[in-house]
Chains A and B, each alone.
Chain A
């Protein structure tokens, strides 16, 4: 809201994107990166981030998320491949020319400047008149709820406060592309949710293309239009949150997305339970089995049920309205969140394996059964 009201006219000149102007689309074409010329950190990345969307890059620590952002911002040149903003090839342009906004993983605030001066810095570099830039900076400080700390130095702020200053600074020059490297990782749970809604709101109001790096799937699922799952320098899947969950393209994605984590078994853990229910040819190729905890029901669901399996209850407990049970299946643990009936420990229990949330993966981890086959 504050982002729009009373925008000083000079400010419009500064922002490289006028309101209503085209937000950026970002494309990677076969981008590879190696820091030392020996070990490849990112392998042949190909993707397009549609203009005006909020995309999360989600992946475990060290998978190359920050490195990807550095290449988008122009701080790091790809070893090979091309980067496009819209249809403009920006591969050879440096950060100064690309004019993106960015929040760094460790905030990177200027220690010698006050909060206000930090937020003003990009405007000062853009030669915005002193009065206008102060007004804009205060507006942004209010937006991120840091306007009571304006005169402090970053060293005197908590991690969460520093993070908010960094967000305000990134927004100051109203970039056409906003890059956020784990911007919420240091906030407490409540503020984190508040800030992520705030970021979403700002993004939707301004239409700025936003790339949001996180290793928190919950954050990614809530904030983004699309999620790119990255692991070991490769894109595992790039789709909507729903598709990621319902149609994981491989074992890694199925295990990475979902709370509680999907049950994973070897195909050899099954006797003949799947025979006749899954194509013999597919069964032949399958190596791993993924079963979402909600795909194990304790009652017959008719056509939704693929087959039944015989298990033994090891332990069951109730969390709020969820009733979990840890089961034993041929010596392997299985978790279900769908218990309806009261069960006793050590009780034999047949479970109805649902079609939805049951997957088979081949030796490369690629999904060959379950979900939509064409998704």
Chain B
């Protein structure tokens, strides 16, 4: 017991967006790569996602949004984590996100953003690197 660290991550969908295929697809791919994935389902508030991330002590939070509300919702998760003393948990995101928004999201503390077509290996690699560096 304890000779190999198991990484724990959370996949969440903030806001009213009901597109959950991408989020579930990422969750499964992470599980199949050996991660323990807490999936919090659709229609959560940023605060709910942040509290779940804290209780589950995850190494990374991954957010998915396809509805266009990513700017507010993603940064609100970052802010909520900070508010609860957990700004050390990195946040990344994905979904339908216009190129021009990505820079601004990074400025607001989202470490990386993935749009459709990104190879799954690249996404898994990012999660793994963030977990290792934590």
A binds B: no
A contact set with B: CB distance below 8 Å:
none
